Amino acid sequence: MTKENILSIFIDESGDLGNFIPNSPYYIVSFVFHEQKNNIKSQVKILDDFLTENNLEYQAIHTAPLIRREKNYKHYDISLRSKIFKKLFNFTKNIDITYKSITIDKQQYKTKHLILRALSKELSLFLSKNIEYFNSFDDVIVYYDDGQDELSEILTIIFGGVLHNFEHRHISPVDYKLFQSADLICTLTLLSNKLNENKNLTNSEKIFFGSKGKLRKNYLKTFEKFAFENAYKKLFNK
């Protein structure tokens, strides 16, 4: 093994730990796995150049408000917002990463305690089932912006309890494109859950993506093959 034998894990969450409401039915945590031996500098430059051309170089791309035309994107028309989304999408699909998303249904787990317990159990099980993969690295570095204290604590406890080579680093989203990829995957996971449960898209989502069929064809099917379970089927099924 060399010093380049490092696994980076970028983590973002979607939703909150509050009670179930129709507009917040899930708590989603997405993990982007990047083996540092796989260089992504050229892809990062392409994305950086696009952001600079559009005066976005000092912003992290947040896909949920991008779709809803909120916050920093409220003055952007659909054409530019779609370009930004597609650029991040193409960046993410063209780099050598895998991902894992954990979805907690808040109708089933009705309190913060139950949500966190369910998340802890699923994350611990995932790491344990794939321990050979994670232990093959000299270091496993978890990057999170510590946006939710409860999640930060869970990550430290579970990763630290299962992996001997774990390190936790606080980051700023604007500094890491792979953290922005984790944000994108959270959004795509939420949309996939909606389609799988035959729920309607919001008006903003319809305007942004068109029909459910276009959303599935143009985005969701592409990302299915990058899921950790699909990329490492033999390892995952041990």
Q: How far apart are CA 144 and CA 209, in angstroms?
A: 29
Res 197: pLDDT: 92
Q: What is the mean pLDDT of residues 130-141?
A: 95
pLDDT at 236 over 60: no
Structural domains of the chain sorted by starting position, each given as residue range(s) with its CATH number in brackets: 6-236 (3.30.420)
pLDDT at 203 over 80: yes
Backbone angles phi, psi at 136, to 5 degrees: -75, -5
pLDDT band at 24 (very low <50, low <70, confident <90, very high): confident
Q: Which residues pair with 35 in a beta bridge?
A: 7
DSSP per-residue codes, 143-161 = EE---SHHHHHHHHHHHHH
> How confident is the model over 74-98, as pLDDT tens digits?
999 999 999 999 999 999 999 999 9
pLDDT band at 2 (very low <50, low <70, confident <90, very high): very low
Res 1: pLDDT: 41
The b-or-e profile of 200-234 (16+ CB within 10 A means b, else e) is ebeeebeebbeebeebbeebbeebeebbbbeeeee
Res 18: pLDDT: 87
Res 191: pLDDT: 96
> How confident is the model over 64-73, as pLDDT tens digits?
999 999 999 9
Residue 176's nearest CA partner among 47, 77, 68 is 47
pLDDT at 58 over 90: no
The pTM assigned to this predicted structure is 0.94
Token pair in block for residue 194 = 């909606």
